Copies of this chain bind each other. A is one copy, B any other.
Amino acid sequence: MSKPTPISGFPEWTPDQRMIEQYVLDRIRSTFERYGFAPLETRAVEPLDQLLRKGETSKEVYLLRRLQADVDGPAGDDALGLHFDLTVPFARYVLENAGKLQFPFRRYQIQKVWRGERPQEGRYREFLQADIDIVDRDTLAPHHEAEMPLVIGDALRSLPIPPVRIQVNNRKICEGFYRGLGLTDPEAALRAVDKLDKIGPVRVAELLIAAAGATEAQAKAVLALAEISAPDASFADAVNALGVSHPLLDEGVAELVQVMQTAAEHAPGLCVADLRIARGLDYYTGTVYETQLVGYERFGSICSGGRYDNLASAGAVAFPGVGISIGVTRLLGLLFGAGALTISRQVPTCVVVAVASEAQRAVSNRVAETLRARGISTEVAPSAAKFGKQIRYAERRGIPYVWFPGADEDEVKDIRTGAQVPARAEVWEPPAADLRPMVS
């Protein structure tokens, strides 16, 4: 057959990049678990009506169809699509299993999602997300909205990546302010403000007038709100100075003040109140988050989320939630592209045991067994070639040690320095820095 080619939007890492990704995922998972989030995985598919319940994402869904569906007759699979985020499936899971869960329910979920979007730098059709969410029954205490950035700050600080800045806003501030101004379609206004980074203030003002029915003065006030940014709760003074009042605005300001005060107390410098943050997905109802890598702001947000009050509800029972999602593939793709992440070797292997002849392979196997039982990743050379060739096998993969079984005594060679010393598999230890591949 001819050589296969990549499929645009479906990235595949090399094994050494995948080792870096696993290192990153292990760190993220460990942080999430230290905060008491329980793991969850949901199936990759949801009924189409679930996927289309909220938001403007309908055009991004991949539907499934069984190849032989016409032969076997309809199987109902035609109504299944791949999930495009982990929040909608989680809300469905909570509704389906509410009777078995303890509330508030804290879960993390690290899975691939799929969107049929046009691929571009940092945008994929298949990508990995790492989410945390907290949902409660009936009401959700606002301190959970303040906890989210602290968890994410901890998780991202544990990674070999640039420092981050979490930008926080509250939809109630925007909606309350727009209503206080007299605008009747606050959603249209929010959608216009959401485009600020892309099209700039002049065109957003035009859009506010054309699509959200704003006057020039109202458009100017909307933009003035969006320009407010502060590293602490002082953003509230700037909002008040604009002279608009509405009960929802007051509620939103009080909630954002709590988030900013908690952040200042527990993680100074992590959060900034940034009132231009809108988030496209329609299901957010309160606090919203985006995250910039300091020095790589051009990458856009690598971690986003917010509070949603109406995503999961069954009859009279509602399950309000708050969540945030790290775009792992996006983050790694950008950092790999910038050459900002490397690993010390291409394989987990620390030692290759040389093979003197095929008849003596069992001797080398036994050395390898002893080393592995002590937690040292070990391969046996694939052929009883000349030792020079066996050393090159290790060298090409960045494996630091080659082990030579001997009649009386074994020896181990550090192939970087050439130093070869007597060794016993029962006791030999590599330096800690050589035991596993190092990410930097």
| A interface residues (Cβ-Cβ under 8 A, vs B) | 1-7, 10-16, 18-19, 21-22, 33-45, 47-48, 50, 53, 58-69, 71-72, 75, 77, 80-82, 92-93, 95-97, 100, 102, 104, 106-107, 112, 114, 116, 126, 136, 141, 143-144, 154, 262, 265-266, 313-314, 346-349, 358, 361-362, 365-366, 369, 372, 375-379, 382-383, 396-397
State in angstroms the CA–CA spacing of A45 and B358 once bound together.
Answer: 40
CA distance A107 to B14 in the complex (A): 11
Contact of A116 among B16, B67, B313, B379 (CB under 8 A): B67
Interface centre among A38, A97, A375 (most CB of B within 10 A): A38
Interface contact A66-B77, CB-CB below 8 Å: no
Complex CA distance for A44 and B382, rounded to whole angstroms: 31
How far apart are the CA atoms of A40 and B382 in the complex, in Å? 20
Q: Can you name 18 extra interface pairs (CB under 8 A) apart from A10-B44, A15-B40, A75-B116? A: A3-B95, A4-B92, A7-B43, A14-B97, A16-B38, A18-B40, A35-B372, A39-B348, A44-B44, A44-B112, A44-B126, A62-B66, A63-B64, A69-B116, A102-B346, A141-B383, A143-B358, A262-B365
**How far, in whole Å, are A366 and B150 apart by their CA atoms in the complex?**
12
B66, A141: Cβ atoms closer than 8 Å: no
Chain B residues in 8 Å Cβ range of A42: 12
Expressed in whole angstroms, the minimum distance between the Cβ of A374 and any Cβ of chain B is: 10
Contact indicator B62/A38 (Cβ below 8 Å): no
Residues of B within 8 A of A60 (CB): 67
Is there contact, CB below 8 Å, between B61 and A62?
A: no
A263 to chain B, nearest CB (A): 11
Q: Is the CB of B38 within 8 A of A346?
A: yes
Judge whether A375 and B67 touch: CB under 8 Å. Answer: no
Residue of A42, A154, A349, A382 with highest tally of chain B CB at under 10 A? A382
Contact across chains for B1 and A95 when beta carbons are under 8 A apart: yes
- Does A377 lie within 8 Å of B1, measured CB to CB? no
Copies in the complex: 2
Docked Cα-Cα span, A7 to B64, in Å, equals: 14
Partner of A361, one of B69, B71, B143: B143
Write out the residue numbers on chain B whose beta carbons fall within 8 Å of the beta carbon of A365.
262, 265-266
A112 to B41, CA, bound (A): 11
18 contacting pairs across A/B (C-beta < 8 A): A3-B96, A4-B47, A4-B50, A7-B80, A11-B43, A15-B38, A15-B40, A18-B39, A35-B372, A35-B377, A36-B348, A43-B126, A63-B64, A67-B81, A75-B116, A104-B382, A143-B358, A266-B362
In the complex, which residues of chain B have a beta carbon less than 8 angstroms from the beta carbon of A379? 35-36, 106
Question: With A4-B95, A95-B4, A102-B397 as given contacts, are A126 and B45 in contact (CB-CB < 8 Å)?
Answer: yes
Given A95-B4, A107-B15, A114-B44, residue A34 in contact with residue B377 (CB < 8 A): yes
Q: Which of chain B's residues have a CB closer than 8 A to the CB of A1?
A: 53, 95, 313-314
Q: Is the CB of B58 within 8 A of A67?
A: yes
Distance between A366 CB and nearest chain B CB, rounded to angstroms = 8
Min distance, Cβ A124 to any Cβ of chain B, angstroms? 10
Complex formed: what's the CA distance from A373 to B387 in Å? 47
Minimum CB–CB distance for A271 against chain B, Å: 15
Q: How far is the CA of A419 from the CA of B373 in the complex (A)?
A: 39
Bound Cα distance A43, B13 (Å)? 10
**Smallest CB–CB gap between A113 and chain B, Å?**
10
Q: Which residues of B contact A62 (CB under 8 A)?
A: 64-67, 77
A3-B95, A116-B77 given; A34·B382 CB < 8 A: no
A346 surroundings in chain B (CB, below 8 A): 38, 102
**What's the minimum C-beta distance from A91 to chain B, rounded to whole angstroms?**
9
How far apart sit A37 and B80, CA to CA, in the bound complex (Å)? 35
User: Is the beta-carbon distance between A362 and B35 smaller than 8 angstroms?
Assistant: no
Q: How far is the CB of A19 from chain B (nearest CB, A)?
A: 6
